[in-house]
């Protein structure tokens, strides 16, 4: 079985049952493999969580890069577009956030995410026409992601679209 399918299974366990349910046995059962098959790819629960966090960071970086055209302010616009692509996407996106929640419980596991947050939010202010607005927009997108991770049904597709337009509009002022 491929690593990605095992990570998908771990995310499903986290999303459906919470961090306490994330055990190697539960993930192996969900994936339909033996525990030994899982251990071949992930020798510990910590290695599994590390891989989930790395995948979340890599995918978000990729989404940002796909929207960032290098023009002034494009990074923050890309950050908003990437965030809303995840929020408005299929349920797997919410499972991705579960990996971050699990990692945040352990300071050592959270360090890669902390580094990514420093990178995502610590950009040179000169990259944006209005650095203050850009920071507020990125933080608002981050906050919305946090809220939706706790209650995925809180905003429907139309509400998310309107929020996205509002945030992007703040960057046009």
In the prediction, which pLDDT does 104 show? Answer: 67
Q: Is the model more confident about 96 or about 168? A: 168
Minimum mean pLDDT among 64-68, 77-81, 123-127: which range?
A: 123-127
CB 137 within 8 A of CB 171: yes
CA distance linking residue 52 with residue 47, whole number of Å: 9
Percentage of the chain with pLDDT > 90?
53
User: Torsion over CA of 103, 48, 113 and 149, rounded to 10 degrees?
Assistant: -60
CB 156 within 8 A of CB 137: no
pLDDT in tens, 105-138: 778 888 888 899 999 999 887 788 899 999 999 9
Confidence of residue 76 (pLDDT cuts 50, 70, 90): very high
d(CA 111, CA 107): 6
Task: Give pLDDT tens digits for 148-164.
Answer: 877 878 899 899 999 99
The pair of three-digit structure tokens given for residue 84, joined into one six-digit string: 């809303």
Instruction: Give me the helix-helix angle, 92-104 and 107-121, nearest 10°.
Output: 120
Predicted local confidence at residue 90, as pLDDT: 64
Residues in the chain: 173
3 state SS of 136: helix
Count Cβ atoms below 10 Å from residue 75 Cβ, excluding itself.
22
- Which tokens in the block code for residue 170? 């703040």
What confidence category does residue 99 fall into, taking pLDDT thresholds of 50, 70 and 90?
Answer: low
pLDDT of 92 over the 60 cut: no
- Report the alpha-carbon distance of residue 173 to residue 168 in Å, rounded: 10
Q: What is the mean pLDDT of the chain?
A: 87
């Amino acid at each position: 079985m491929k690593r990605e399918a095992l990570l998908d299974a771990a995310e499903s366990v986290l999303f459906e049952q919470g961090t306490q349910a994330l055990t190697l046995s539960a993930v192996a059962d969900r994936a339909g493999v033996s525990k030994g098959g899982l251990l071949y790819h992930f020798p510990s629960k910590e290695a599994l969580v590390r891989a989930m966090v790395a995948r979340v960071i890599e995918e978000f970086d990729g989404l940002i890069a796909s929207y960032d055209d290098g023009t002034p302010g494009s990074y923050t616009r890309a950050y908003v577009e990437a965030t809303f692509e995840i929020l408005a996407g299929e349920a797997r996106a919410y499972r991705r956030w579960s990996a971050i929640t699990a990692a945040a419980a352990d300071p050592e596991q959270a360090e890669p995410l902390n580094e990514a947050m420093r990178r995502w939010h610590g950009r040179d202010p000169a990259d944006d026409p209005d650095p203050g607005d850009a920071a507020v927009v990125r933080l608002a997108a981050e906050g919305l992601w946090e809220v939706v991770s706790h209650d995925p049904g809180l905003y429907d597709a139309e509400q998310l679209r309107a929020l996205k337009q509002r945030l992007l509009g703040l960057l046009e002022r």
